[in-house]
Amino acid sequence: MIRSLLNTPLASFYLVLVSAGLLIALGMMMVLSASSVYAYVNTDDSYYFVKRQMMFCGLGLVFAVVLARSSVRRLRSLSWVGLFLAVGLLVLTYLPGLHANVNGNQNWLSIGGQRIGQPSEFAKIAMILWGADILARKERLLDQPKHLLVPFLPVSLLLILLVVFQGDMGTAMIMIGILAGILWAVGTPLRILVAMAGLAAAATAVMTISRPSRLRRLMAFLNPTHDVQGTNMQATVGVFALATGGWWGVGLGASRQKWGSLPEAHTDYIFAVIGEELGLFGALAVLALLLVLGYAGIRIALRSDELFTRLLATGITTWFMFQSLVNLAVVLRMLPVLGVPLPMLSYGGSALTANIMALGLLIACARNEPQARELLATRRRRPQPRMTTVVGSRRG
> How does pLDDT run across 160-178, given as a tens digit for each residue?
999 999 889 999 999 999 9
Distance, CA of 77 to CA of 22 (rounded, Å)? 31
> How does pLDDT run across 265-315, given as a tens digit for each residue?
999 999 999 999 999 999 999 999 999 999 999 999 999 999 999 999 999
Burial of 83 (0-12, 13-18, 19+ CB in 10 A): buried
Where do the structural domains in the chain lie, given as residue ranges? 8-372
pLDDT value, residue 385: 61
Using alpha carbons, list the distances in angstroms from residue 337 to 206, 215, 232, 256, 332: 17, 11, 9, 21, 10
pLDDT value, residue 46: 94
Strand partners, 114: 111
Residues of the chain with pLDDT > 90: what percent? 74
